[in-house]
Structure 1
Amino acid sequence: MFEIGRAKQCDAQTAFEIRLQAIRHQCIGAYTKEQMLAWTAGAAKDGYDVLMDKYFYLGCINGDPVATGMLDLENSEIGAIFVLPGFMRQGIGLKILNHLEGLAQDLGLKEVNLDATLNATDFYRRCGYVGEELAIYHSPSGLRLACVPMVKRLLLWRGSRER
């Protein structure tokens, strides 16, 4: 059974490991080996753990974490959608994305944005995101990666707060 729940600070290393495995599995060819190794170096305590204080979620199957996702309200940004390689292509990333978009709607956001990795742009386009221009993502560690900034307008449901 798949469930999505709010991550806690103690989940940071688990979330970091999901991220590491997803990047190393799925970004082959979109980025160089050197970029991927630099991108996944370190540990959660090197700064990734601060994301747990945002709207960070774990997707779990029978209680075991297999996916992550985050909504950064300050920037109206969705990010950190990663799925363990053994669970990819099962709709789990889409479930996480839909959950985060629903949360954004409930919180009154009119649109959300994200920086899509080069291997994920088609997925996000299929989900209604718009963006074509290549840009450079600057990570807190100083790593520079090509990405595609994308945006999606959200429908405001009756009863949603205006922001």
Structure 2
Amino acid sequence: MLEIKRATPTPTDANAAFDIRRAAIRSQCIGAYAAEHMALWTRGKAEDGYSALMEKPFYLGWLNGEPIATGMFDPANHEVGALFVLPAFTGRGHGKAMLDHLEQVARELAIEEVVLDATLNAASFYRACGYVGDEQAIYHSPSGLQLACIPMKKQIG
């Protein structure tokens, strides 16, 4: 069973989260995004800005002592983000477990609706979890990269 813990603002947690993200994008976004976009999206290292996310409600999902999943909830924007699972562990319910955890965090803050920007390859996963949204938009990453996404929302209250 996935054990979900709040990440700490340490290099260890930041590097683990960044590595999970990079592996997930490089494995699961093939075909949804051009190779050059994926290369730009996954370049660098945690210290290049990704580690700052550890200050937010950012979580690591652990299985047998190994971090295999990430997720974040931004209370100011009611936004779920950074939901990634290592490729070797996809399709086993770990992403759903993390998403359920993030939604519970939102409920505990009395938030009734959450939003997210789904990658093109993940939209069907989120729809299966009760999220709605079909219109494609452009996500502007903090690094300046622009990626197609699907804004989605879900009533959780």
For Structure 1 versus Structure 2, the TM-score category normalised by the shorter chain is over 0.9
Between the aligned partners of 2:54 and 2:67, the Cα distance in structure 1 is: 14
Q: Which ranges in structure 1 are unaligned for 5 or more consecutive residues? A: 156-163
Provide the aligned C-alpha RMSD in A. 0.6
**Deviations along 1:117-146, whole A, 9 cap, x unmatched?**
000000000111010110000111110000
1:76 aligns with 2:64: no
SS at match of 1:68: strand
Opposite residue 93 of structure 2, the aligned amino acid is: G
Opposite residue 15 of structure 2, the aligned amino acid is: Q
TM-score by length of 2: 0.97
Between the aligned partners of 1:34 and 1:9, the Cα distance in structure 2 is: 30
Between the aligned partners of 1:14 and 1:59, the Cα distance in structure 2 is: 11
1:131 aligns with 2:115: no
Opposite residue 27 of structure 1, the aligned amino acid is: C
Opposite residue 135 of structure 1, the aligned amino acid is: A
Match of 1:19 among 18, 21, 29: 21
Map 1:1-163 to 2 at 5 A: 1-10=1-10, 11-155=13-157
Between the aligned partners of 2:139 and 2:82, the Cα distance in structure 1 is: 14
Between the aligned partners of 1:111 and 1:127, the Cα distance in structure 2 is: 14
Opposite residue 6 of structure 2, the aligned amino acid is: R
Does the CA-based 8 Å contact 2:139-2:147 persist in structure 1? yes
SS at match of 1:109: coil
Q: Which ranges in structure 2 are unaligned for 5 or more consecutive residues? A: none
**Deviations along 1:90-113, whole A, 9 cap, x unmatched?**
000000000000110011101000
Between the aligned partners of 1:71 and 1:131, the Cα distance in structure 2 is: 19
User: What's the CA shift for 1:2?
Assistant: 2.1
TM-score by length of 1: 0.94
SS at match of 2:153: strand
Opposite residue 138 of structure 1, the aligned amino acid is: H
Higher Cα Rg, which structure = 1
The count of aligned residue pairs is 155
Between the aligned partners of 1:71 and 1:15, the Cα distance in structure 2 is: 14
Does the CA-based 8 Å contact 2:18-2:50 persist in structure 1? yes
